[in-house]
Amino acid sequence: MLLLNPAIDSNQILLVTDERETVSAVAEALSINGEFAGRCVCRNLQQLTLRLELGRTSAVLVDIDRQPQRTLADLETIIARFPDARFVVLSRERADKLMIEAMQIGARHFLVKQSIPEDLADVLHRLIPRDSAKRRTCGAMITVLSASGGCGATMVAANIAHEIHLLSGEQTLLVDLDCYYGGVATYLGLEGQYGLSDVLGHSAAIDRDLIQTTSIPCGKGMRALLSPASTNFRTSGPLASDRLAEAIEAISGAAGCTVFDAPRLGSAVESILARASRVTLIVFQLCVKDIRVARVMRNAMIESGVEGERIVMVANRFRKRHAMVNVEDAIAVFGERIERLQNDYKPACVALNFGQPLAEAAPRSALRRDIARLAAKIRQDFLLSPELSSAR
């Protein structure tokens, strides 16, 4: 049986439950005596809040079986208030709907009670770093979503990552979450043996060292974490989200800024990424279908708790003339200013064919100027803004 990391005091772990058998299972899994119930067990979320206000809590185990939906709804506010505590949801059954909702509100893990004796200690080892008393500065994260296939989101993500590096001088990390096509590797002409699937499938803790060794260089000042479709196309498939929160935390410390290229993930995973990012870009083209999808995506994220101010709408391949839908029509739909990237076909093709960012392949092109301007605005408004530095 695994023992707790010596650097982690059992007093730093709280359990919320009114079931004696759950208390006993947790105490046994952590190899501590019956005093655990008196010191570290809260019967409800109100008691939990009071204990969290005292500080020194590394992990919180929350039993949701009595009222699953209501408990998760109430827990969301607590997680937002105490972001340094790692929350683990406990349930008798692994229900996909509950697991996704738990990840959406910010829980780090979903654990079936039957597996507490075998898995709990290992989960806590992964969630609570050995130097948990030493807090490190995390890099900023940007998520780029696409309203449709082929709208140019990968081009935007790759070039925003490069421009942020040029502006800040810090290393940037480009993470490809496209588990079906792997657009980043194609756009930048990359090949690698390891990538995101190896991170999520890692048997031990996911940490910044794992991210650094698994990602590959893609030009000066940039690294890329490739999608499963790029490293092993035959085994690629839907993204496994049960360790996504853990991976995001490790990724946040691996570079000065991380950009996620995140197409075709579904609203649940998109919301998890958006909540963890300083800003989310939704890339679309000025056509009825894209505008309709982009509006649905934006509304879904806002309903899940993402601030509307941290969502930026980006109209790609913008044309002043002969457009079926103009910018004013899109603004009327979204009710806010829209960032525009010109329809500059030749430089975009040159960059793709040479596997280079626009700043290298076509530095004086109109498209590169638009993306450089957008990157500077993102950095000024979201990455350097102190009130947004605590975004989860």
Q: Are residues 172 and 108 in the same domain?
A: no
- Residue 58 carries which side chain, given as an amino acid letter? S
The answer to whether position 326 is within a domain reads yes
Q: Are residues 234 and 101 in the same domain?
A: no
Q: Are residues 190 and 329 in the same domain?
A: yes
Predicted confidence at residue 121, as pLDDT, reads 84
Domain boundary pick from 75, 100, 127: 127
Q: Are residues 281 and 160 in the same domain?
A: yes
Domain boundary pick from 62, 97, 127: 127
Q: Are residues 145 and 118 in the same domain?
A: no
If one counts the domains in the chain, the total is: 2
Looking up residue 97, the CATH number of its domain turns out to be 3.40.50.2300
The answer to whether position 257 is within a domain reads yes
Angle CA 347–297–312, to nearest 5: 50
Q: Are residues 61 and 150 in the same domain?
A: no
Predicted confidence at residue 385, as pLDDT, reads 58
The answer to whether position 1 is within a domain reads no
Q: Are residues 284 and 357 in the same domain?
A: yes
Q: Are residues 122 and 159 in the same domain?
A: no
Residue 12: burial class (beta carbons within 10 Å; 0-12, 13-18, 19+): buried
Residues 20-47 pLDDT 10s = 999 999 988 887 655 556 568 898 999 8
Tokens 């392949």 -> residue: 361
The answer to whether position 132 is within a domain reads no
Alpha helices in the chain (DSSP H): 20-29, 35-40, 45-53, 68-81, 96-104, 116-127, 153-168, 183-188, 196-200, 208-214, 228-231, 244-252, 267-276, 288-303, 327-334, 345-354, 358-361, 366-378
Predicted confidence at residue 160, as pLDDT, reads 97
- Residue 328 carries which side chain, given as an amino acid letter? E
Domain with 95 in it: 10-127
Residues 184-221 pLDDT 10s = 999 999 998 888 888 888 878 888 889 988 999 998 88
Looking up residue 379, the CATH number of its domain turns out to be 3.40.50.300
Q: Are residues 197 and 249 in the same domain?
A: yes
* Distance from C-alpha of 73 to C-alpha of 306, rounded to nearest angstrom: 15
Q: Are residues 206 and 87 in the same domain?
A: no
Domain boundary pick from 72, 100, 127: 127
For 306, the token pair is: 């993402």
Tokens 């690698």 -> residue: 192
Q: Are residues 248 and 331 in the same domain?
A: yes
- Cβ proximity of 204 and 126 under 8 Å: yes
* Distance from C-alpha of 169 to C-alpha of 265, rounded to nearest angstrom: 31
Predicted confidence at residue 91, as pLDDT, reads 95
The answer to whether position 94 is within a domain reads yes
Q: Are residues 313 and 185 in the same domain?
A: yes
Low-confidence residues in the chain, pLDDT < 50? 1-8, 131-137, 386-392
